[in-house]
Amino acid sequence: MIAAIASLVPVGTFPVYQLDQGEPFDLLAPYNLIGAVGYALWLVAYVLVIRKGFKDKTYAIPLLPICLNFTWEFMDSWILPDPVYFWKWVDRAWFLLDVAILYQLFRYGRKEQKIPEIQRWFYPIVIVTLLLAFWGQYTFVTTFHDTLGFIAAFAINLVMSIIFPFFYFARRDLHGLSWGAAWCKLIGTGLASIQCIFLFPKIHPLSPVAYSPLSPYSFFYFLFIAIFVFDCVYVGLLWRARKKRVVAADGA
């Protein structure tokens, strides 16, 4: 099993990331300290999500992001290289928490489905989604040389951020929706984005594109901003719903 996983590790240092430079990965660098706070908030978000899921007997993250997160955490924890051993263990802590979240999806997910066909084929759908998620992510990092999985991680984060408002609209009674986790995701991802704004140019140096007025890092900036906007929308929706509940309770 270990040998099979090891054989998947991308061979060599891909040109996108200059992993042989030590200074960018100094854990005491200000931008890495900011990122560490963001990672800690993501751990808290996972714990709050798991707590809410068991309390409400449901899964507290949408199905697709659960599958994408689980396979990315597996890949980043056990397959992809990492120049900072501390980050590797953060990834593995995330992975262990993702195991609990995936369990909640299998344990409670089928009864939550409103479409009869999806409810009937729920378990095969989840398994196929997991397989496709891993296949897509591994081929992405291999094809586009995203050796550390950073681009894939923020792309998955954006998918999650876009789906969460729809998750809210499907659960207006707020069951399985964690107010604290929503804030931890917003702030945690924001801090990780700030870290990467300083980190990426050091490990992923790009020359300006001659035919474009945009920054060579413009796609990263798009991901950072889009995630932040959708996270704010989701927090705003939860805030409005919680406020309505308080008003209704006061008027009762």
Give the integer Cα–Cα distance in Å for 163 and 65.
Answer: 8
Range of lowest pLDDT (16-20, 22-26, 119-123, 140-144):
16-20
For residue 94 the two structure tokens come to: 């995330």
Give the integer Cα–Cα distance in Å for 171 and 162.
Answer: 15
Q: Please, what is the average pLDDT of the chain?
A: 87
Residue at token pair 């992001």: 65
Is there a contact between 224 and 197 (Cβ–Cβ < 8 Å)? yes
pLDDT of residue 11: 42
Please classify residue 47 by burial: count the beta carbons closer than 10 Å to its beta carbon, then call 0-12 exposed, 13-18 middle and 19+ buried.
middle
pLDDT of residue 209: 64
Give the mean pLDDT of 89-101.
Answer: 93
Close Cβ partners of 22 (under 8 Å, ≥ 6 residues apart): none
**pTM reported for the whole predicted model:** 0.88
pLDDT of residue 13: 45
pLDDT band at 210 (very low <50, low <70, confident <90, very high): low
Q: Give me the helix-helix angle, 218-251 and 150-170, nearest 10°.
A: 20
**pLDDT per position as a tens digit, 215-244:** 778 899 999 999 999 999 999 999 999 998
pLDDT band at 213 (very low <50, low <70, confident <90, very high): confident
pLDDT of residue 155: 96
Share of the chain above pLDDT 70, in %: 85
Q: Residue 2: pLDDT above 70? A: no
Give the mean pLDDT of 79-98.
Answer: 86
Q: How far is CA 6 from CA 75, 103, 128, in A?
A: 11, 26, 23
Is there a contact between 127 and 196 (Cβ–Cβ < 8 Å)? no
Give the integer Cα–Cα distance in Å for 57 and 195.
Answer: 36
Give the mean pLDDT of 51-61.
Answer: 97
